[in-house]
């Protein structure tokens, strides 16, 4: 698949970075979309290249439609088109609903929900036939864990967008799916959590561990390439955790 091109938002860290590297192993040219950490983005580019792909890093606020359009422009200029879009950018401030500052809530909505909408809008206009749009949600939409109301609300919206967009793309030969990870060992997950809580969450799935970014990247790579008959679905990748 040396002629395949992917854009991965949130590609400088966590699940996005691992997904970019995994796609590089499949021979993709990858655009690493990142918000602000240029050093991490450059390291991610090197990892994709070491895996066998080509890569560039492009800074873009996913909620800014002009910046996102420019990122897609770069993909087309550098690599000739876009086949796969992975929406992995996200933020996760935690607080009980009654205590969450509404400015923080607005920021979560802007990045997680508006950001997905803006990126998907460009993807609809640009992704070539045979391509895939893969949004990233969270199993927290089902697990209903306290302190995650804002984050889970945005991810529920991402799932709704996915199901509708898949149907809007009838006749285009472009699949649209969501991957909904459970607790995964990323900097976003570990931030602000005491070890006791991390250990308790890790023990919940029948497999008795946290997910690894590579676990989620395998699902993304499957949806990006061979999984042509999976469309309009939410894939819960959480090791068996249940609500």
- Arithmetic mean of pLDDT, 46-61: 97
Residue 199 is encoded by which pair of tokens?
Answer: 């250990």
Report the predicted TM-score, pTM, of the whole model to 2 decimal places: 0.94
Domain assignment present for residue 198? The answer is: no
How far, in Å, CA of 148 to CA of 133, rounded? 25
151 is catalytic: yes
Domain assignment present for residue 192? The answer is: no
What is the reported pLDDT for 1?
A: 44
Q: What secondary structure, in 3-state letters, does 50-70 show? A: HHCCEEEEEECCCCCHHHHHH
Domain assignment present for residue 102? The answer is: yes
Over residues 114-169, the pLDDT tens digits come to 999 999 999 999 999 999 999 999 999 998 889 999 999 999 999 999 999 999 99
Over residues 190-231, the pLDDT tens digits come to 887 889 989 988 898 899 899 899 999 999 999 999 999 999
Active-site annotation holder among 34, 148, 151, 236: 151
How far, in Å, CA of 33 to CA of 42, rounded? 11
Q: Which domain holds residue 126?
A: 5-183+214-237
Those residues with Cβ within 8 angstroms of residue 194's Cβ, 6 or more apart along the chain or in another chain: none
Domain assignment present for residue 195? The answer is: no
Q: What is the CATH number of the domain that holds 31?
A: 3.40.50.720
Domain assignment present for residue 189? The answer is: no
Domain assignment present for residue 12? The answer is: yes
Asked if residue 38 lies in contact with residue 63, where contact means CB atoms within 8 angstroms, the answer is no
Domain assignment present for residue 57? The answer is: yes
- For residue 114, give Cα distances in angstroms to 6, 30, 48, 182: 21, 23, 28, 22
Q: How many domains does the chain have?
A: 1
């Amino acid at each position: 698949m040396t002629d395949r091109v992917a854009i991965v938002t949130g590609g400088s860290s966590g699940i996005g970075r691992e997904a970019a590297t995994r796609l590089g192993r499949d021979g993709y040219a990858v655009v690493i979309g990142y918000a602000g950490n240029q050093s991490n983005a450059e390291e991610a580019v090197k990892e994709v290249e070491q895996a066998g792909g080509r890569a560039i890093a492009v800074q873009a606020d996913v909620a800014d439609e002009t910046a996102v359009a420019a990122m897609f422009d770069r993909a087309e200029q550098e690599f000739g088109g876009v086949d796969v879009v992975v929406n992995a950018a996200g933020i996760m401030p935690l607080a009980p609903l009654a205590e969450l500052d509404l400015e923080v809530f607005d920021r979560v909505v802007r990045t997680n929900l508006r950001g997905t909408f803006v990126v998907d809008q460009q993807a609809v206009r640009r992704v070539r036939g045979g391509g895939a749009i893969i949004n990233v949600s969270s199993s927290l939409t089902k697990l209903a864990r306290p302190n995650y109301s804002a984050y889970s609300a945005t991810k529920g919206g991402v799932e709704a967008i996915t199901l509708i967009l898949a149907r809007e793309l009838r006749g285009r030969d472009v699949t649209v799916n969501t991957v909904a990870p459970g607790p995964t060992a990323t900097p976003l997950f570990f931030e602000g959590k005491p070890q006791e809580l991390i250990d308790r969450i890790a023990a919940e799935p029948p497999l008795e561990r946290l997910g690894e970014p590579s676990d989620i990247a395998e699902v993304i790579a499957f949806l990006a390439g061979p999984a042509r008959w999976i469309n309009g679905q939410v894939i819960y990748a959480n090791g068996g955790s249940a609500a």
